[in-house]
Structures are given as structure tokens and as C-alpha cells.
């Protein structure tokens, strides 16, 4: 049996040999060669690490429209190529003590679109809303948004360029003409060209470098793995800090400066008005306000394919992009086996047809496998509840953020090297103002006190000492863990390119101090022949287990 597997691997290697070479003919490693010995790239102390936010008067964040003309235009996907969501905002936000929300009924939500720029022959209408961020404390300013519009376009053809305008034609308040390309048809030989993956983005000068470099790579889809604007690093008067609890320890509630959301939407429009962006919540989106409401800005500003994917929540959903099935999970709501998210996840996984979508990719914000001191083992309770389910269905890759650095794992399951476990990739290095994560938990005197690891929004204490392996009896490893294949503290983002049913190229670009370099690159190879997974068998159009 082992000789047969070796022969199959050798044949596969010969068939895909051209993929092993970049333009400089350098060998690109692949996961069949792993597990790899751990590598740490030393931190470059000469890097400036400029994490200053763009100021309010930067022209890239100022309002450029008048009246009810659309702004902050963005695209997101539905569950398949047949439909997309368009979102935008009309009208101005208000912030102060005497705010009066706009009436969403006064402005229509209309999109005109077609395959010719000169013939926008199709029309779709949607819904609109206004949200508020309110604080029941004297001296804090309240906020109410402009009118947020969400319109779903349906009946679209795959891999097709569409042109569109959005707004309200009755008010002569229509946008310029933009364009987007739909996802390829769902199938094992059909994939988007480049999927950009980024986390913990914010709106700093480093963010602008990340987005500039990402744009130059011409992505077909963007995944933002939580922590969008970092508006909650500001008081309601607009005073900000890269450490809220350090600078504002006496505030009666964790305030947030909601105009930063509008600044972010304006800055991002040039990219996300033509490239779909799929977002999952992070801890900086909690934004607690009056009546204990949380995540209101996040849930209001983005359109999610929740209903289309059988979810009742904006915190978790799924969608297809060609032959990839993406699962977006929430770490800051109930993930226990008895909860709604887990039951939805079970159903979603059971209905994935791997003959159509061979690649199964999962994302959520805080990583399970990270060796940095920051947020070390913080999501352990979620891992204990969910890991076995993802493993049993053969999830190929997991993308996380939260830790402001880069790390790629070997294939791992329950902290042990496993050729059938997912590859975990942390990309929480988009450029936010909280600066980079540099210390590692395995360095002397850096292992955190176990009692400090739980996050109050993520459940109780689950991260106990290891009971097996090289770290048995310890809370931290005393060297870079075996599961950690590569780690580096630098700002950047990644590009995920699926080549066929079993091979995909992952490239992480470091963009510290504005230079753009390939920091890490590897082919991730699926092995369905040696890694059986639970799946639904389709026969005569009747599904059964």
C-alpha cells in the first residue's frame, strides 16, 4: 500500500512539475514534502512600523459626493455565481448630542446593470436601513449613519463582466458606472484566479500600502478575516490611541468613533466597488452600546449571504467561488455543540459536494494554532468544540487573523502533526494601528499566565497544560512548536490561487516599509486518496450518507 501511495505521489509530481518554478526557476516547496522543520524569520529592528491612522482631513477619507449620491460602494458574493450583493450609503452621518436619524424610506435602492456599459438593461431593487451607536452616559456623543442600501442581483452568468450604476434615479442621484466580474461556475476545474486574504486591516498608512499592493495583484475576491476599521480605538470625540485600555482606563463604556467606518468605506471603494469582499467579524467589531447591543455597525454595513446559505446570522455563512467552498465562522458568539452555529455548520458541511467543490476552506478571526505570545491559546474553547468536526469533513485550509503577524502551520490536528489535518494560516498583519505582534510564547519568560488567556466574549477557561508530546506538562512549548512551520512579524497579506482539484499556491507578501516581497510561498496539496473524509454521496440525484 505504501509503495502504491509513493507511486501515485511521484506521478502527481511529474504531472505538475511546471508548477514548481517561479519566474526565476526557484523551487517552490509543497506540503507533500512536509512536515517542515520550524522556521522563524528574525524581526528586522530597522523597520519603522508606522501604524498611524489616516487623519480625518486626508482626502482619501473625506466625503466626495453631495446630497443623496451614493458613496462607500461595495460588492459581496451570494452563495454561487448566479447572484451578487451591492451595498452603498446615501446621505451624511450625524454625530453629537442631538441627532435625528434619516428616514430610509425617502431614498430608493436601485441598481441598473448589464453586460454592456452602454446598455444597463436590467434593474434590481433592494432594501435600506439606518443604524445608530448610542451611549447612555452624559458627555458621550451619539452617532447615526447615512442610509445603507443592500441590493441583490440575480440571474447572472458565470465569469462575465457586468457594468452597473446604483442609487435613486427619481432623485437624480445615481453613481458613476462601475463594473465587476462574476465568479466562475461551480465545478472541479473552475476557480477564481486570485483570492486575496487579509486580516486586522484598519486604516493606517501601512493599510494603504497593503491595499495598494493587493490591488496591483488584481484579485478576483477578497476575504477580510475580522477587525475592519478599529473605530473602537477612539473616544466619541475623535481622540484615538493604539491602546484603548491604556489611554482611557476610566471611560464608563468602551466607546467607539463611528465616523472611522465611513472613512474606511470611502478609502476602500476604489477596490471593493469592483472586487467582492467577504467579511467575518473580529473582536474590534463588538462595539458595545446602549441596551447591550453589539456588532451593530458590522451587521448593518455589509451584505452577507446568510439566508442563501441557510444561516440565520450575519456571524456565520458560506458560499462557493468556483470549486472552492468557503465557510465563515463566528468566534464571538455561541460555537458549542448544542448551539445554532454548530448545528448550521454540521448541516453545511454535510451538504458540500466535494465532486463539485473539492476545496474546503474555513475562516474565523482568532487562531487556534499560533505560537505568538499575543492571544496565545485564547480560542482554545472553540477549538475543543469545533476542531473534530472540521477534521472529519476534510477541511483543507483555515485562515485566521487577530495576531498581528504571519504564521503558517504544518498540517495539524489536536496539536499533533497529521497529514490529513488542515494547514492553518494566520494573516492578522494587514496594517492596523495596534502595531505588530513580535514576542513568541516559547521564548524565555514569554509564556503567559494561563489565567490571562480567556477572552470574556469567547467562553471560559479551556487552555490547560499539554498532556502529550514535547510540551507535555507545560502550558507553552520551550521552542518553536512542531506545528509551526514558518513565522515572521511583518505587515502583509496573502494570495490564494487554486490550480486544480488537488494543488493550490499560497503566497504571503510582506509589505513592511512599503516594499513588496514574497515572504512565504508554498503549494498546498490535497490528498483525498489517503485522507478519507465524511461526505454526501450523490446517486441519481438523491443524496444519502
Model confidence pLDDT, tens digit, residues 464-521: 999 999 999 999 999 999 999 999 999 999 999 999 999 999 999 998 766 778 999 9
Residue-range domains of the chain with CATH: 69-525 (3.60.21.10)
pLDDT top residue among 112 and 543: 112
Contact between 262 and 232 (Cβ < 8 Å) = no
375 is catalytic: yes
Give mean pLDDT, residues 452-469. Answer: 90
Burial of 109 (0-12, 13-18, 19+ CB in 10 A): buried
Q: What's the grid cell of residue 176? A: 458613476
Model pLDDT for residues 251-308, shown as the tens digit of each residue: 999 999 999 999 999 999 999 999 999 999 999 999 999 999 999 999 999 999 999 9
Model confidence band, residue 533 (pLDDT cutoffs 50, 70, 90): confident
Rounded to 5°, the CA angle 308-309-315 comes to: 110
Give mean pLDDT, residues 101-121. Answer: 97
Judge whether residue 227 has pLDDT over 70: yes
Q: 2-11, 18-27, 212-221: which range is least confident on average?
A: 2-11
Model confidence band, residue 4 (pLDDT cutoffs 50, 70, 90): very low
Percentage of the residues of the chain whose pLDDT score is greater than 90: 87
Those residues whose C-beta lies under 8 Å from the C-beta of residue 271, and which sit 6 or more positions away, are: 211, 214, 215, 222, 277
Q: What pLDDT is attached to residue 15? A: 43
Contact between 505 and 499 (Cβ < 8 Å) = yes
Full-model pTM: 0.93
Distance between CA atoms of residues 411 and 363, nearest Å: 16
Rounded to 5°, the CA angle 14-19-25 comes to: 105
Model confidence band, residue 45 (pLDDT cutoffs 50, 70, 90): confident
Judge whether residue 160 has pLDDT over 60: yes
Three-state DSSP class for residue 327: strand
Model confidence band, residue 48 (pLDDT cutoffs 50, 70, 90): low
Q: What's the grid cell of residue 315? A: 456571524
Distance between CA atoms of residues 103 and 120, nearest Å: 28
Judge whether residue 452 has pLDDT over 50: yes
Model pLDDT for residues 310-328, shown as the tens digit of each residue: 999 999 999 999 999 999 9
Distance between CA atoms of residues 430 and 27, nearest Å: 27
Rounded to 5°, the CA angle 10-14-16 comes to: 115
Contact between 61 and 135 (Cβ < 8 Å) = no
Q: What pLDDT is attached to residue 6? A: 46
Judge whether residue 221 has pLDDT over 50: yes
Judge whether residue 14 has pLDDT over 70: no
Model confidence band, residue 7 (pLDDT cutoffs 50, 70, 90): very low
Contact between 376 and 440 (Cβ < 8 Å) = no
In the set 81, 375, 402, 404, the catalytic residue is: 375
Distance between CA atoms of residues 48 and 503, nearest Å: 37
Q: How many CB atoms lie within 10 A of CB 456?
A: 7
Nearest partner of 283 among 432, 442, 452, 132, judged by Cα = 432
| Helix, strand, coil share of the chain (percent; to 5) | 20, 25, 55
Model pLDDT for residues 398-446, shown as the tens digit of each residue: 999 999 999 999 999 999 999 999 999 999 999 999 989 999 999 999 9
Beta strands of 64-218 (E only): which ranges? Answer: 71-77, 84-90, 94-96, 110-114, 122-125, 127-129, 132-133, 142-144, 147-153, 161-168, 173-174, 178-181, 195-198
Amino acid at each position: 500500500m505504501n509503495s502504491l501511495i509513493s507511486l501515485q505521489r511521484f506521478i502527481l509530481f511529474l504531472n505538475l512539475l511546471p508548477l514548481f518554478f517561479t519566474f526565476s526557476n526557484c523551487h517552490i516547496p509543497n506540503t507533500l514534502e512536509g512536515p517542515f522543520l520550524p522556521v522563524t524569520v528574525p524581526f528586522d529592528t530597522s523597520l519603522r512600523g508606522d501604524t498611524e491612522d489616516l487623519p480625518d482631513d486626508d482626502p482619501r477619507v473625506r466625503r466626495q459626493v453631495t446630497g443623496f449620491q451614493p458613496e462607500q460602494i461595495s460588492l459581496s458574493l451570494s452563495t454561487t455565481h448566479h447572484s451578487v450583493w451591492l451595498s452603498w450609503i446615501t446621505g451624511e452621518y450625524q454625530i453629537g448630542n442631538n441627532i435625528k436619524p434619516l428616514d430610509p424610506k425617502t431614498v430608493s435602492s436601485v441598481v441598473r446593470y448589464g453586460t454592456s456599459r452602454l446598455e444597463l438593461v436590467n434593474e434590481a431593487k433592494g432594501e435600506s436601513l439606518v443604524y445608530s451607536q448610542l451611549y447612555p452616559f452624559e458627555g458621550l456623543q451619539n452617532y447615526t449613519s447615512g442610509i445603507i442600501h443592500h441590493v441583490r442581483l440575480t440571474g447572472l452568468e458565470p465569469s462575465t463582466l457586468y457594468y452597473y450604476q446604483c442609487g435613486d434615479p427619481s432623485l437624480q442621484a445615481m453613481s458613476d458606472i462601475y463594473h465587476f466580474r462574476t465568479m466562475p461556475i461551480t465545478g472541479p476545474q473552475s476557480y477564481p484566479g486570485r483570492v486575496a486574504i487579509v486580516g486586522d486591516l484598519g486604516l493606517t498608512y501601512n493599510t494603504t500600502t497593503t491595499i495598494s499592493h493587493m490591488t496591483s495583484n488584481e484579485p478576483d475576491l477578497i476575504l477580510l478575516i475580522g477587525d475592519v476599521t478599529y473605530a473602537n480605538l477612539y473616544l466619541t470625540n475623535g481622540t484615538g490611541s493604539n491602546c484603548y485600555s491604556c489611554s482611557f482606563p476610566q471611560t464608563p463604556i468602551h466607546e467607539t468613533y463611528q465616523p472611522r467606518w465611513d472613512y474606511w468605506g470611502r478609502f476602500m471603494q476604489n477596490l471593493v466597488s469592483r472586487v467582492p469582499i467577504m467579511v467575518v467579524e473580529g473582536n474590534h467589531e463588538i462595539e458595545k452600546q446602549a441596551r447591550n447591543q453589539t456588532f451593530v455597525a458590522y451587521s448593518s454595513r455589509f451584505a452577507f449571504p446568510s439566508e442563501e446559505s441557510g444561516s440565520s446570522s450575519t456571524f456565520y455563512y458560506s458560499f462557493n467561488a468556483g470549486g472552492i467552498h468557503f465557510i465563515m465562522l463566528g468566534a464571538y458568539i455561541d460555537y458549542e455543540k448544542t448551539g445554532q452555529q454548530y448545528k448550521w455548520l454540521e448541516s453545511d458541511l454535510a451538504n458540500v459536494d466535494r465532486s463539485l467543490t473539492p476545496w474546503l476552506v474555513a475562516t474565523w478571526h482568532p487562531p487556534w494554532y499560533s505560537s505568538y505570545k499575543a492571544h496565545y491559546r485564547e480560542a482554545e474553547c472553540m477549538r475543543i468544540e469545533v476542531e473534530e468536526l472540521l477534521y472529519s469533513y476534510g477541511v483543507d485550509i483555515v485562515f485566521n487573523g487577530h495576531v498581528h503577524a504571519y504564521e503558517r502551520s504544518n498540517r495539524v490536528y489536536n496539536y499533533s502533526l497529521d497529514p490529513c489535518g488542515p494547514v492553518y494560516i494566520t494573516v492578522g498583519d494587514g496594517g492596523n494601528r495596534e502595531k505588530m505582534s513580535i514576542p513568541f510564547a516559547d521564548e524565555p519568560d514569554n509564556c503567559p499566565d494561563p489565567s490571562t488567556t480567556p477572552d470574556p466574549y469567547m467562553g471560559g477557561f479551556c487552555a490547560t497544560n499539554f498532556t502529550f508530546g514535547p510540551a507535555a506538562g507545560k502550558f507553552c512549548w520551550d521552542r518553536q512548536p512542531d506545528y509551526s512551520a514558518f513565522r515572521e512579524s511583518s505587515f502583509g497579506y496573502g494570495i490564494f490561487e487554486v490550480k486544480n482539484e488537488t494543488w493550490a499556491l499560497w503566497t504571503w507578501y510582506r509589505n513592511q516599509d512599503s516594499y513588496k516581497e514574497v515572504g512565504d510561498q508554498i503549494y498546498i496539496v490535497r490528498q483525498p486518496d489517503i485522507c478519507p473524509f465524511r461526505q454526501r454521496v450523490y446517486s441519481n440525484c438523491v443524496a444519502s450518507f
